[in-house]
A and B are shown apart, each in its own frame.
Chain A
Amino acid sequence: MPDPAGRWGCYVYGIVGADGAPQDVCHGVGDVQVEYVHSGPLAAVVSAFDLDREVSLRADLTAHTKVLDWLAARTTVVPMAFGTVTDDAAAVEETIIGPGGDVLLDLLQWLRGTSQFNLRGVYHRERVLGEVVRADPRLKELHERTRDLPQELPHPELISLGEGVSAALDRKKADDSERVLDAVAPFVVDLRDRVGGDMDQVMNVAMLVPETQRARVEETLEQIAAAEHERMRLQLTGPFPPYDFVEGMPWVS
């Protein structure tokens, strides 16, 4: 550990089972070697963190992600949020493993053999807006009446049209999203909505997928993507550590 005179904290990447701690070496935030704080059946994956060093978001985010990918490739891990730093190793036990031990063990058991995949669906806007307007005589009429109005002026009828299209699009997204997610539901352990996205986004979800079902999930989504490709794109990313599936600890703020 460099410069023992400096101010040091303990950067926490995640929690693993004590018997699952990898044997090989990995360097984390600040290029400091990763260590373990053992506590009964659990181990926290940590590295010394120089509190006075200059923060580099790019480097630190990359290092955080690298360590968690490294862990997830070798064992089951409960990832901590980016930027979790405690005073020292003792505080890791007092504030994380101690109060959360039972829940963490259950969580590790639940996550075993799974990975997170993120699924996004995005409409081809011109096609789906066409569907929406043609399906609703009122919107069709509003569209015809307002199409030549200057866009700079927020004419009330323009707002009505936008409101109607927005609501119809929301219903369409709910239907399409349900259809896609129902198809993969038999092969996933859990689903979580992810927030964000613009007007064309149909869905943005995290899926917890058992290793044994991964091929089925991909095949199912490929079939849907092929059938729907003129209306929407489906984008699957992963495997990731289960970032979206570790909330709900009793002591979470």
Chain B
Amino acid sequence: MTQQAMQRRGGGYLERPKPSGLADVVEVILDKGLVIDAYVRVSLVGIELLTIDARIVVASVDTYLRFAEATNRLDLYAEGGKDLSEFIGDLQEKGASKKTSGVISGAKKAITGGDDDDDDGGRPARKSSARKSSARRRQTDDA
């Protein structure tokens, strides 16, 4: 597992990718920035659609089954079993969020024209009223 981290630029462990592909750009700016009254703002085709399609359902049976599946793919007590790196490759290939990744890559394809160069599935930004309050809470706690 350390191989992944070792090959970072300049030998550092902190990854500093440069947003390059359109998927990265979308992740950074989508639904961000100052929003003015809806009658002034012209929503360019596809944007509203994307924010809706990319919604991730978190608390569902499917989600729990994914966690269970990922957990049970682990061999916590293996002795001389599978090589760890093999295992990781396996997990990355099959253990990833099946249920949501299809939707997201579909939505991303719609906006990027299929040029999906993000590393591991999209995390489209989404408006959240909880966002600000949690940031404030954190600040208050620190104070």
CB-contacts of B1-58 with A (<8 A): 1-2, 4-5, 12-19, 22, 24-38, 40-47, 54, 56
Q: Which 6 A/B pairs are nearest by Cβ-Cβ distance?
A: A162-B64, A196-B123, A162-B68, A243-B32, A225-B13, A162-B67
CB–CB A147/B72 < 8 A: yes
Residues of B whose CB lies within 8 Å of any CB of A are 1-2, 4-5, 12-19, 22, 24-38, 40-47, 54, 56, 61, 63-72, 74, 76, 84, 87-88, 91, 95-97, 100-101, 111-113, 120-128, 130-132, 134-135, 138-139, 142
CB–CB A163/B64 < 8 A: yes
A138 interfacial by beta-carbon distance below 8 Å: no
Q: How far is the CA of A27 from the CA of B64 in the complex (A)?
A: 49
Q: How far is the CA of A88 from the CA of B96 in the complex (A)?
A: 47
Residues of A whose CB lies within 8 Å of any CB of B are 9, 14-15, 55, 57-58, 60-62, 64-65, 78-86, 91, 95-96, 118, 124-127, 129-130, 132-134, 139-140, 143, 146-147, 149, 151, 154, 158-159, 161-163, 165-166, 169, 181-182, 185, 190-199, 201, 204, 218, 221-222, 225-226, 229-230, 233-237, 240, 243-244, 246-249, 251-253
> Given that A154-B61, A195-B128 are known contacts, is A61 also in contact with B36, CB under 8 Å in the complex?
no
Closest-by-CB residue of A relative to B128 is A195
Query: Tally of A-B residue pairs with Cβ under 8 A?
Result: 247
Partner of B45 from the list A57, A162, A234 (CB cut-off 8 Å) is A57
Partner of B139 from the list A190, A201, A247 (CB cut-off 8 Å) is A190
CB of B17, distance to nearest CB on chain A (Å): 6
5 A-B pairs whose Cβ atoms sit less than 8 Å apart in the complex: A62-B22, A83-B43, A196-B126, A221-B14, A226-B14
Chain A contacts of B43 at CB under 8 A?
83
> Given that A61-B25, A195-B128 are known contacts, is A166 also in contact with B33, CB under 8 Å in the complex?
no
CB–CB A248/B132 < 8 A: yes
CB–CB B44/A57 < 8 A: yes
Partner of B67 from the list A58, A191, A199 (CB cut-off 8 Å) is A199
CB of A115, distance to nearest CB on chain B (Å): 12
* Additional A-B contacts beyond A81-B34, A82-B33, A162-B69 (7; CB < 8 A): A81-B33, A96-B36, A146-B68, A159-B68, A162-B65, A196-B122, A226-B13
